Amino acid sequence: MWENLFKHVNIPSDQSSIPNGMAPDLPLECEHYEGMIQNTGGIDLMILGLGPNGHIGFNEPDSQLGTKTHVVSLTSETIQANARFFANADLVPRQAITMGVGSIMQAEEMLLLVSGENKRKVLQNALFGQVTTTVPASILQLHPHLVVVTDFSL
C-alpha cells in the first residue's frame, strides 16, 4: 500500500495506516490496529478492492464474517490472484490480517475500486444481489456513502 498508493497521494503518513502483516504476534497486531482505529476517531475514507470471489479486504466468503480486525487464511483463488505480486505462487502468504466487515462498515466514506472485466458478475452480485456472507462485498449495499469506480460499465 505504501509503495503503490500512499507515496503517490497527498495524504500525511500519520493519517493513513495498514496493519503490520509481518508482526511477530498477529492476533496482538489485530488488537493494536483495532485500538488505533478507535483511538484516532475512526476511518474517514475506506478504499477497498474487490476480490474475484467477492471478498473485501481479505474477508473471504464464509458462513460468518469477522467483525473486527483479524487473521484469515486465504483461499486458493485469492492466493492465485495475488501471485502476480510475487516471483511465484509458492511465495504468496497463506494468511493475512484483514479489517473485519464491522470495522470496514464504520468508515464515513467508502470507495470501492474494481478493475478487470472478469469481476463484472461478482460486482453485479455485490451491488444488486442478496446481502450474503458468500459475497462479502454485498454488505456494502448497506453503506450510506459508497462510491464504486470500475474500468468497465455495468
Q: What is the pLDDT of residues 136-153, one digit of tens each?
A: 999 999 999 999 999 999
Q: Specify the pTM.
A: 0.87
pLDDT tens per residue, range 28-58: 999 999 999 999 999 999 999 999 999 999 8
pLDDT digits (tens, 9 = 90+) for 77-98: 889 888 999 998 899 999 999 9
Domains parsed from the chain with CATH numbers? 45-150 (3.40.50.1360)
Contacts of 1 (CB under 8 A, 6+ apart): 16, 18
**Rounded distance between C-alpha atoms, residue 40 and residue 50, angstroms:** 26
Instruction: Name the one residue in this structure whose C-alpha cell is 466514506.
Output: 109
How far from the centroid of its chain's Cα atoms is residue 47's Cα? 8
Distance CA 61, CA 54 (A): 7
Is the backbone of residue 107 left (phi > 0), alpha (psi -120 to 50) or beta?
Answer: beta
The amino acid occupying position 33 is Y
Question: With bands split at pLDDT 50, 70 and 90, how would you rate the model's confidence at 13?
Answer: confident
